[in-house]
Structure 1
Amino acid sequence: MPRSLVASCMGDAKTAPKPVRTDTKPPTASPDPVPAVVDWVLGAITAVVGFALTAVGAGMYTRVDRTIITEFITAESTEVNGLTPAEAVTAGVPFVDWFSVGVALTGLGLVAAAAVFVRGRRRTRRRVASEGGTTATFWASAVYGAAVTALVSFVHGSGIVGGALAAYLHEGESGLRVGATTGLVGWALTVPLLVFLAVGLLAGAGAVDRFTGGVVLVGITLVGELAALALNVGFGALGGYLPDRFV
């Protein structure tokens, strides 16, 4: 065989491209952006706060009576606009009873919410592990955002931070929607307390024949709470808009 032909064959063998593997999978985004331990920590903290509120509410209901209210008003020279000390005591008894029930029920609601959250997250993680997808569901992202909002609540506009986190975690839908829901989640947990606060104000006002004044106080309280809700939802929506716009 001529040397030129041998050299040609050897050169072709050296320069032959290596076969490309086609069984490799393209990189994908992490389906679990938040570790499972975060769910347990968040649930545990919420449950502890809930149990503490329940204990406080139960203690108020069983221990704070007319005598203690009278001592408080007389010792601290507490003044209630438009009410004499005797009327303030009479109005304070039913108010404290209803308000303490609201505190206790709010605590129990937090404990129940923590249990439901942890259980739901475990089911979601098992489903994602077997079927695929992401654990950053809409409501989970909103809860994470609400938790962060509560964590940095000492900062003005903390809802922006929580809304931004929720929108960053949850991809595929409007960040405005999940961010606004973040503000709604935190407010919704206080609804039982708000309801029993309103009932307590009405009951206390009715005990001293000042029902109209009680209605006015309830109206002012409701307006304030609705304003707080609108502010929280607005800040959350603004935070949810930021990842859509800049990330």
Structure 2
Amino acid sequence: MIRINLHDYRYELRKIETQKRVVKCSAIIIAAVFLILVSWYLEQIRLDTVKAETKKLQSQVAALKKQVEKVKAMKDQTGRLETIIAGIENLRTTQVPASTLVGDLNILIPDDLWLSGIIQRSEKALKRKKIPSIMFGDPSQKKKKKRKKKGKEKQINEFLEVTGFSFSEKAVVEYVKRLQGLPYFDTVFLYQSLQVTGESKKKMKIKNVSSVYKFVLYCYMPGKEKKA
């Protein structure tokens, strides 16, 4: 006769059931941990992407900020346009109207350069500034002037003193070259180009720009005038 110990059988069943529950719980925990790790990994990728985009935007903003500062510096000088025009309205020349001069001087301006003043100067004024006469003088013309008699027309020197600022010396040189191409200027030469530093730069309210240059150039435009 076979005897079955029901107590041991039930115990084994409960043990197996417990093991199944433990396995299920472990699987759930492992799955949850896996999902958490995957979510963390994806979040890290997203954060890295956001950081990269942020750095890219910051660099773009920095570049734009420099451009804004340049535009602001130029805009601050536009208020001088009326003064510039007024300074050349009384030019004693029959060759070119003041409006044409203003137009040409502004159209030929390269990028990163703006004007701050245009003033009529005489040859004596240039000599007082100790500007070498070889830069604008014409010995042959001077000899001819000495031979002219009273009552006849004489050649007089008309100079335009053009001052301004630029973010590069290259732009200043380019501007001089462009002005030299104008037919009514006999001579165009750069007198001075100095880098603006310290307090002078602060007064101009220019930030985030490494170099600013102040320049002075002269345009020689001969005119004719009769003696009284």
Indicate whether the TM-score tops 0.5.
Answer: no
Q: If the length of structure 1 is used for normalisation, what is the TM-score?
A: 0.30
Q: If the length of structure 2 is used for normalisation, what is the TM-score?
A: 0.32
Q: Which has the higher helix share?
A: 1
Structure index of larger Rg: 2
Q: Which has the higher strand share?
A: 2
